[in-house]
Structure 1
């Protein structure tokens, strides 16, 4: 092997080793898919658990199966004002502390019934001008927005519109001689 190439590689490796201690690997990366939001992967998972608690899977798919958390983050990123985006992200960041204070456990450690109770109580929080009051108001805004966008994203999904409640642009033709007992599954008309 050429001595010059070996020395060049040795210099590059030692320079890289000098830079490694200055790198901070403890912080969680912010997702780059959203321009205006500073959301981490763990916060996105928490949002998924919240939306799955609001509309869980059963006989039909739930909110998490239909990727509603992605819909929520895209709507907040694209459609909310800067102030509302800030309140949403502050509420998302403050939600784990709120759950810890309310129940003494992490959100993922709660039972389904406890998760529902925490979310329902959180939507009714009222804030004031103190720092703690502002956090409560942000959590309430976050939960109410998440609930509204979860329902909107779920009902507008392709799965719901094609398989569960088939969408019909124009109502079916009129037939006055049909018995009520012979009617088919209701269709949502636009």
Structure 2
């Protein structure tokens, strides 16, 4: 199976189809040769916090531990036009600003319940930002080593294909 086909199948398993720029980014391609938005360390840290709300640490490491924010920054820079990058980072700044308005402190300083509340609010007030953030987070997480080996069942050298195998109780879903 080719990597592209594997990523497409993983996207379908995650509940939808990846956008073309995200798919290109997951495959390591650079399709934006124009200018990009410079991302500050503070913005990258904020991306890590938001990603960790989307995929938190449970019995497996979360998006922050997997470095999903680095994937997001790279894919936004390499695969999205500057206008889309500006819109995305404006949405990120709006989330942080709304946190300051509602709780008197930035998103990164909120407690976990407040972070969840702000992400839920963003799901309705800035749906385009949230959907792109969710897509990039899940793709970055499940294509990382941590996501593929800790959250999913990983078999580095697959053997015979058995299409109808019962799963053991508590067994993780297979990585592709």
TM bracket, shorter-chain basis: 0.5 to 0.7
Q: Report 1:120-131 matches (<5 A).
A: 120-125=120-125
Corresponding position of 2:144: 157
SS in 1 for 2:72: helix
Alignment match, 2:94: 94
Unaligned runs of 5+ in 1: 1-34, 126-136
CA-to-aligned-CA distance 1:48-83 (integer Å, 9 cap, x gap): 111112212222111111111000111111111222
Partner of 2:80: 80
Q: Distance in 1 between matches of 2:70 and 2:77?
A: 10
Give distance in 2, aligned partners of 1:54 and 1:98: 18
What residue in structure 1 maps to residue 69 of structure 2?
69
Instruction: State the 1:148 CA deviation.
Output: 1.5
Equivalent residue for 1:16? none
State the partner residue of 1:23. Answer: none
User: Which protein has the larger Cα radius of gyration, Structure 1 or Structure 2?
Assistant: 1
* 1:43, distance to aligned residue in structure 2 (A): 1.3
Partner of 2:174: 188
**When the two structures are superposed, what TM-score results if normalisation uses the length of structure 1?**
0.61
Equivalent residues of 1:170, 1:189 under 8 A apart: no
* C-alpha RMSD of matched pairs (Å): 3.1
Cα gap change, 1:109 to 1:159, in 2 (>3 Å): closer
Query: CA 1:170–1:49 in structure 2 vs 1: closer, same or farther (change >3 Å)?
Result: same
Q: Which residue of 1 aligns with 2:109?
A: 109
Give the direction of change, closer, same or farther, for the CA distance of 1:97–1:84 in structure 2 (3 Å limit).
same
In 2, Cα distance between equivalents of 1:143 and 1:182 = 34
- Structure 1 window deviating more from structure 2 (65-74 vs 160-169): it is 160-169
